[in-house]
């Protein structure tokens, strides 16, 4: 018998013994119901977003990973998370109260600065909520509700597949979560209950809403086809603003009267009049911009899919590169101290000096 045959025979024999003696393999557990697995590589695992919770840093990523640091990003601890879905966005409105969203339509909430999390919503719950909402409106004669109902039924036909891509809370009670194929939900009690705002967008198509952000007292949605929506508070409706761009926007940042939308192929547009007019910015990069932040001193930092970081000290009129030691797919950035950043992406996180 040749070596290959011996090995195959030995393998089959071992498999027979194992099958006869090993316990039955555990059944599949839905990632929406399975806690995030522990890892000792928290800083080298894929991360999608990072933010500040007071003096603490909190980052989120793949398989329900949430980590936090209390020493400027030098050491990180894994948080307790009740799901193992991919998490893609995080926001804190106070040093203790924060929210995370991600795949499977999941919304998580923390009351202790990100050390532990509870699930407030998932795609199964959203599917039921939205279906019932639009069925009631359609039965009452709302013609548009029938179209939304058909869209919702298509979105959730194969389960909770629609991802939530961004979260924005104005305060501890009032917030929005947005995602793929027109998903837009609002809460007025800190996430204990949610309501559909899908029909409150000035658009007939179920576009992807890639980001929601409050800037200068306004709330904006970043979407496809160069579209930015702004909340009309009196009408309780998001209205279209015309940027003149045709591609997708992935994120928003800004302060005061200035808001910047960024996205594909290094594209960025700025408005200083609440989205009524927009001007294209020259970022100097050609890869998609995935994340950005406004520093405490007003400077703007953005990061790209090809591992570049850029900074502007004049509200986006000019950008200069920031030196990084390890280039990978960067997805988000947050300020650590007066002269440093933490950048997260496909290879985990990296501390970057601004000097």
Q: Decide the pairing of beta strands 56-61 and 209-215.
A: unpaired
**Each residue's pLDDT tens digit, 85-124:** 999 999 999 999 999 999 999 999 999 999 999 999 999 9
Tell me if residue 226 falls in helix, strand or coil: coil
- The three-class DSSP label of residue 236 is coil
What are the residue ranges of helices labelled H in 223-333? none
Token pair listed for 283: 């970022």
Name the residue ranges covered by the structural domains of the chain. 31-162
What is the Cα–Cα distance from 76 to 145, expressed in whole angstroms?
Answer: 47
Q: What is the per-residue pLDDT across 304-320, written as a single tens digit (0 to 9) for each?
A: 999 999 999 999 999 99
Q: Give the model's pLDDT for residue 337.
A: 86
Q: Could you tell me the two tokens for 106?
A: 């999941």
How far, in whole angstroms, is CA 76 from its chain's centroid? 20
* Residue-by-residue pLDDT tens, the chain, 355 positions: 343 333 333 343 334 333 434 455 567 789 999 999 999 999 999 999 999 999 999 999 999 999 999 999 999 999 999 999 999 999 999 999 999 999 999 999 999 999 999 999 999 999 999 999 999 999 999 989 999 999 999 999 999 989 999 999 999 999 999 999 999 999 999 999 999 999 999 998 999 999 999 999 999 999 999 999 999 999 999 999 999 999 999 999 999 999 999 999 999 999 999 999 999 999 999 999 999 999 999 999 999 999 999 999 999 999 999 999 888 899 999 999 888 999 999 999 999 999 8
| DSSP state at residue 27 | P
Backbone angles phi, psi at 94, to 5 degrees: -140, 170
Q: What is the pLDDT of residues 153-185, one digit of tens each?
A: 999 999 998 999 999 999 999 999 999 999 999
Any bridge partners for residue 350, and if so which?
343
Distance CA 98, CA 85 (A): 18
Do residues 262 and 292 touch, judged by C-beta distance below 8 A? yes
* Residues linked to residue 90 through DSSP beta bridges, in sequence order: 100
Strand-pairing partners, residue 335, are 341
CA dist., res. 278 & res. 76, Å (int) = 40
Looking at the chain, how many residues does it have?
Answer: 355
């Amino acid at each position: 018998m040749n070596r290959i045959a011996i090995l195959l025979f030995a393998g089959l024999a071992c498999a027979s013994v194992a099958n006869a003696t090993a316990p039955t393999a555990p059944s599949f557990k839905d990632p929406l119901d399975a806690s995030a697995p522990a890892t000792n590589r928290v800083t080298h695992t894929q991360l999608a977003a990072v933010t500040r919770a007071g003096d603490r840093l909190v980052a989120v990523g793949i398989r329900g990973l949430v980590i936090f640091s209390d020493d400027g990003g030098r050491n990180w601890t894994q948080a307790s998370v009740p799901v193992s879905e991919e998490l893609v966005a995080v926001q804190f409105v106070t040093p203790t109260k924060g929210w995370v969203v991600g795949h499977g339509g999941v919304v998580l909430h923390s009351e202790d600065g990100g050390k532990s999390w509870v699930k407030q919503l998932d795609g199964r719950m959203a599917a039921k909520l939205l279906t019932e909402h639009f069925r009631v409106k359609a039965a009452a004669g709302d013609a548009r509700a029938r179209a939304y109902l058909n869209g919702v039924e298509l979105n959730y036909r194969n389960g909770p597949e629609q991802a939530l891509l961004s979260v924005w809370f104005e305060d501890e009670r009032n917030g929005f979560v947005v995602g793929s194929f027109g998903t837009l939900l609002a809460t007025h009690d800190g996430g204990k209950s949610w309501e559909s705002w899908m029909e409150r967008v000035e658009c007939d198509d179920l576009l992807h809403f890639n980001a929601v952000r409050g800037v200068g007292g306004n709330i904006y949605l970043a979407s496809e086809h160069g579209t930015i929506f702004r909340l009309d508070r009196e009408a309780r409706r998001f209205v279209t603003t015309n940027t003149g761009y045709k591609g997708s926007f992935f994120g928003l940042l800004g302060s005061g009267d200035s808001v910047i939308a960024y996205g594909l192929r290094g594209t960025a547009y700025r408005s200083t009049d609440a989205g009524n007019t927009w001007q294209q910015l020259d970022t100097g990069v050609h890869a998609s911009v995935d994340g950005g932040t406004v520093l405490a001193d007003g400077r703007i930092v953005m990061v790209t899919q090809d591992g570049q970081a850029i900074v502007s000290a004049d509200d986006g009129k000019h950008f200069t590169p920031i030196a990084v030691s390890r280039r990978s797919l960067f997805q988000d950035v947050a300020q650590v101290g007066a002269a440093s950043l933490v950048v997260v992406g496909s290879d985990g996180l990296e501390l970057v000096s601004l000097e």
